[in-house]
Amino acid sequence: MSEFVPEDAALPYDFRISPNISIGRTGSAIVLSLAALPAAAIAGAFTLHGFWPVGIAAALAVGGLAAGFTVARRSLRRVERIFLTQGHVVIERRSPSGDGLRSRFPLLGLHLERSFDSDYGLRALVLRHRDQSTEIARDLSPAERSRFEIAFIEAVNAAGHSIRMTTATAHAELASERPQ
């Protein structure tokens, strides 16, 4: 059973989550210029004295930096959309390549699992229904995830359902240790 909800449909509870891109195209160009100009000057000086491999190494280093910026920006073009419709929570994820994944969870019997760390904050939110589970709001910071959790619970309650919640608490020092 496939359900189509148009992108511009006005749903009462429609959360769209995407990662923050902290440096834009202009900022990237400035950082690359600030790296390329000194590298070109130094490589030019060494090349004039016969050390031409320095020029190749500088070009490769600046090219690698530019490729890194491009790949990082492209990987941040993902979107997670969470909305309520007809007694279900629908989670749509779009990857940078445009591939999509869609999950549906019935509101009846829905379980929200919280992973909380006293030092870090809310580390993860996992929706569960019977044998189905998925982590939601992955691209949010702990503070943003806490605000999202409140809004999500209010949305489920406003839709006339309740959500069972459990919290797993860990300390940061213990979470990184592995038993031997």
113 and 96 within one domain:
yes
Residues 136, 54: one domain?
Answer: no
| 88 and 162 inside one domain | yes
- Give the C-alpha separation, 68 to 71, whole Å: 5
69 with 95, same domain?
Answer: no
pLDDT for residue 174: 56
Amino acid at 164: R
Q: Is residue 52 part of a domain?
A: yes
Q: Which of 174, 178, 166 is nearest to 128 (CA)?
A: 166
132 strand-pairing partners: 129
Q: Are residues 123 and 164 in the same domain?
A: yes
Residue 135: which domain range? 79-174
- Kindly state whether residues 89 and 147 are assigned to the same domain: yes
Report how many domains make up the chain.
2
pTM of the model: 0.68
Q: What is the pLDDT of residue 168?
A: 87
Does any domain span residue 29?
Answer: yes
Asked whether residue 179 is domain-assigned, the answer is no
Distance of CA 174 to the CA centre of its chain: 25
Question: pLDDT tens, position by position, for the chain (180 residues)?
Answer: 334 444 545 456 888 888 887 888 888 889 999 999 999 999 999 999 999 899 899 999 999 999 988 888 887 888 899 999 888 999 999 887 778 889 999 999 899 999 988 888 899 999 999 889 999 998 898 999 999 999 999 999 988 888 898 888 876 555 555 444
Which residues, 6 or more positions from 94, have their beta carbon under 8 angstroms from its beta carbon? Answer: 78, 79, 80, 81, 100
